[in-house]
């Protein structure tokens, strides 16, 4: 059994200084089995070490941001070279144009780009642009997709809406993925009021044939902009985004996470006709877009350029699909051999695999998910998901498959004798919840 003495001492102390114990809810200790929430000391490639010197193969890849792996030398070196020349200036740095040219040349729908620090700000800026461009207030979001922004227009629709004026909630409406009729219903219910449709290209369910063509026609017919959130899909589905894979024509699109292999860079890009409203448009009121003291740092943009160059040269997105497909094949084979395919399942595209843990009634279960995390951590696998990075080598994949094989008898016992017989602590809880 691993020792978590140092990590547990950290967890006990940190809640006194940091609300929730972490600066990202998905990294909270409530997302791991009690007493088994490793606090990370360092990482290299697909492996990380905690404060107790326990080693893990890490999946989830830094909340899907480390496409190339931790400490990837070409990206780190690119950032390091620029750090010596200054961190922030009172005027733009020359690298900003190079970065903008590279991204707009790469992304099919991008004619202009604005860089920021995080995805939430970029997506909120896109919503603000859409409202200004259309003169409308309502935003339609895909209700089957988990997260778009930390800002009020989205968070008001979740269980953590405390502190947000109730009236804000009237400005965001939801539609179902892959259901054109449901989106058409919203346009009919709110004629001439919807400024934008906000969605990801794909989460765990692929788009139906013709879905995005129909979506584009609906938006055009009703005068709404299509905002494509590519925080996860960008550079993971393809170096040119999911919009390239599925031939989507968004008006605006947003990127982050894998854009710079975990360095703090996000981007809002889109059609010039819309983006220009954030600049010096004499014929329209200006839109306040991204304006951050630490935005577009030279070292961060250098990291972005290095990550893009490497990704294109080495066809990293294709490699992610290959690694994920191998992991899926071997895991599903092990689970099928154990006769538990109805209970432990993989979902999503090969480059972005998540697992579902089901109870004896076939329902997705937080308690059974906790059991999976417990058994994985015991075996040196840190896996809130099975999202891979390019650094996942055959040894890492083999270790994960072995962990799943060793999980299966424990999982069967939980199904037959009850989860309480094998789960050592309280279940993990939903990341976004109202209380506790």
Instruction: Please tell me whether residues 43 and 92 are part of one structural domain.
Output: no
CB 224 within 8 A of CB 196: yes
How many domains is the chain partitioned into structurally? 2
CB 331 within 8 A of CB 317: no
**What is the per-residue pLDDT for 36?**
96
Low-confidence ranges of the chain (pLDDT < 50): none
Instruction: Please tell me whether residues 270 and 372 are part of one structural domain.
Output: no
Instruction: Please tell me whether residues 106 and 178 are part of one structural domain.
Output: yes
Instruction: Please tell me whether residues 50 and 99 are part of one structural domain.
Output: no
CB 320 within 8 A of CB 387: no
Instruction: Please tell me whether residues 32 and 141 are part of one structural domain.
Output: no
Q: For residue 115, report the phi and psi dihedrals to the nearest 5 degrees.
A: -95, 145
- Classify residue 120: in a domain, yes or no: yes
Q: Dihedral, CA atoms, 216, 222, 225, 229, nearest 10 degrees?
A: -60
- CATH code for position 92: 3.40.640.10
What is the pTM assigned to this prediction?
0.96
Domain boundary residue among 236, 267, 296? Answer: 296
Domain boundary residue among 296, 326, 361? Answer: 296
**What is the per-residue pLDDT for 283?**
87
Instruction: Please tell me whether residues 93 and 198 are part of one structural domain.
Output: yes
Q: Which two tokens stand for residue 229?
A: 């959130």
- Classify residue 365: in a domain, yes or no: yes
- Classify residue 78: in a domain, yes or no: no
**What is the per-residue pLDDT for 284?**
87
Instruction: Please tell me whether residues 275 and 142 are part of one structural domain.
Output: yes
pLDDT digits (tens, 9 = 90+) for 258-300: 999 999 999 999 999 999 999 998 888 999 998 999 899 999 9
Of how many residues is the chain composed? 436
Q: What DSSP line would sit under 235-265, residue for residue?
A: TTTBTT-HHHHTT---SEEEE-GGGGTTSS-
CB 230 within 8 A of CB 198: no
- Classify residue 232: in a domain, yes or no: yes
Instruction: Please tell me whether residues 184 and 62 are part of one structural domain.
Output: no
Q: For residue 199, report the phi and psi dihedrals to the nearest 5 degrees.
A: -165, 165
- Classify residue 57: in a domain, yes or no: yes
Instruction: Please tell me whether residues 130 and 244 are part of one structural domain.
Output: yes
Provide the residue range defining the domain that includes 20: 5-70+316-421
Instruction: Please tell me whether residues 114 and 248 are part of one structural domain.
Output: yes
Instruction: Please tell me whether residues 263 and 348 are part of one structural domain.
Output: no
From CA 193, how far away is CA 250, in angstroms rounded? Answer: 19
**What is the per-residue pLDDT for 339?**
98
- CATH code for position 30: 3.90.1150.10
- Classify residue 435: in a domain, yes or no: no
- Classify residue 304: in a domain, yes or no: no
Domain boundary residue among 234, 265, 296? Answer: 296
Instruction: Please tell me whether residues 280 and 336 are part of one structural domain.
Output: no
- Classify residue 82: in a domain, yes or no: no
């Amino acid at each position: 059994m691993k020792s978590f003495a140092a990590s547990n001492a950290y967890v006990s102390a940190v809640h006194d200084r940091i609300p929730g114990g972490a600066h990202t809810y998905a990294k909270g200790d409530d997302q791991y089995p009690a007493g088994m929430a490793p606090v990370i000391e360092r990482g290299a490639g697909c492996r990380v070490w905690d404060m107790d010197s326990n080693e893990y193969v890490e999946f989830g890849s830094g909340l899907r941001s480390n496409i190339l792996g931790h400490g990837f030398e070409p990206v780190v070196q690119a950032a390091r070279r620029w750090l010596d020349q200054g961190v922030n200036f009172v005027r733009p740095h020359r690298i900003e144009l190079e970065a903008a040219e590279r991204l707009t040349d790469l992304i099919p729908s991008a004619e202009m780009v604005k860089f920021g620090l995080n995805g939430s700000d970029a997506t909120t800026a896109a919503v603000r642009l859409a409202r200004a461009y259309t003169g409308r207030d309502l935003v339609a979001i895909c209700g089957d997709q988990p997260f778009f922004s930390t800002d009020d227009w989205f968070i008001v629709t979740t269980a953590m809406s405390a502190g947000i004026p109730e009236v804000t909630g009237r400005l965001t409406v939801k539609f179902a993925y892959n259901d054109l009729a449901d989106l058409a219903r919203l346009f009919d219910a709110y004629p001439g009021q919807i400024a934008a449709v906000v969605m990801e290209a794909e989460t765990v369910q692929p788009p139906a044939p013709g879905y995005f063509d129909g979506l584009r026609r609906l938006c055009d017919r009703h005068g709404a902009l299509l905002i494509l959130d590519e925080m996860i899909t960008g550079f993971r589905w393809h170096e040119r985004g999911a919009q390239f894979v599925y031939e989507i024509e968004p008006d605006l699109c947003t990127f982050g996470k894998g854009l710079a292999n975990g360095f703090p860079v996000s981007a809002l890009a889109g059609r010039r006709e819309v983006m220009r409203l954030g600049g010096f448009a004499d014929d329209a009121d200006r839109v306040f877009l991204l304006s951050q003291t630490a935005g577009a740092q030279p070292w961060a943009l250098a990291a972005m350029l290095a990550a893009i160059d490497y990704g294109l040269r080495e066809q990293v997105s294709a490699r992610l699909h290959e690694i994920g497909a191998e992991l899926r094949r071997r895991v599903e084979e092990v689970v099928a051999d154990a006769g538990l395919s109805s209970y432990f399942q993989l979902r999503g595209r090969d480059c972005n695999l998540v697992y579902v843990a089901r109870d004896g009634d076939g329902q997705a279960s937080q308690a059974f998910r906790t059991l999976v995390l417990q058994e994985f951590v015991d075996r040196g696998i840190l896996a809130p998901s099975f999202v891979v990075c390019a650094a996942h080598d055959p040894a890492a994949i083999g270790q994960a498959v072995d962990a799943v094989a060793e999980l299966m008898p424990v999982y069967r016992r939980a199904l037959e004798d009850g989860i309480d017989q094998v789960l050592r602590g309280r279940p993990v809880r939903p990341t976004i919840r109202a209380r506790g």
